[in-house]
Amino acid sequence: GTAIVTAAGMLNAIELQGKKLEDSTIVCLGAGAAAVACMELLIKCGAMREKIYMLDRKGVIHTRRDDLNEYKQLFANNTDKRTLEDVIEGADLFLGVSGPNLLPAEALKLMADK
């Protein structure tokens, strides 16, 4: 259920921006089962895995981390970005599937204009 509703909202949001899902940078704050399911469905809808930045309690999930389970490894980026602020700059879509109050209002201003 969560993934279907998320995909519908994200597809609508990206269409309203006049962009394509395959060209969009997506930030996913949370790396549990719901986050993985949502991102996998978005990939099936056209999102590019390498343009998805997933974060867990330790920050950005990247290829140099040695503490990733098999699901997190699927979303490990080869990047020097480590924080939410690093990856949200210029991002087109944001999905929060973790705790409350983790996205500061200032971070929204760093996202893409549309």
Q: Give backbone dihedrals phi and psi of 35, rounded to 5 degrees, phi first.
A: -60, -45
E strand segments, 17-112: 26-29, 52-56, 59-60, 93-96
Strands of 59-60's sheet in order across: 59-60, 52-56, 26-29, 93-96
- Given a contact cutoff of 8 angstroms between Cβ atoms, the answer to whether 56 and 24 are in contact is no
User: Could you read off the pLDDT of 48-106 as tens digits, one per residue?
Assistant: 999 999 999 999 999 999 999 999 999 999 999 999 999 999 999 999 999 888 899 99
Pairing assessment for the beta strands 93-96 and 26-29 based on DSSP bridges: parallel
Q: Sorting pLDDT into bands at 50, 70 and 90, what band is 113?
A: confident
Q: Which domains does the chain have, with CATH numbers?
A: 2-108 (3.40.50.720)
pTM confidence score: 0.95
> Which candidate, 12, 26, 43, places its Cα nearest to that of 92?
26
**How far apart, in whole angstroms, are the C-alpha atoms of residue 3 and residue 67?**
25
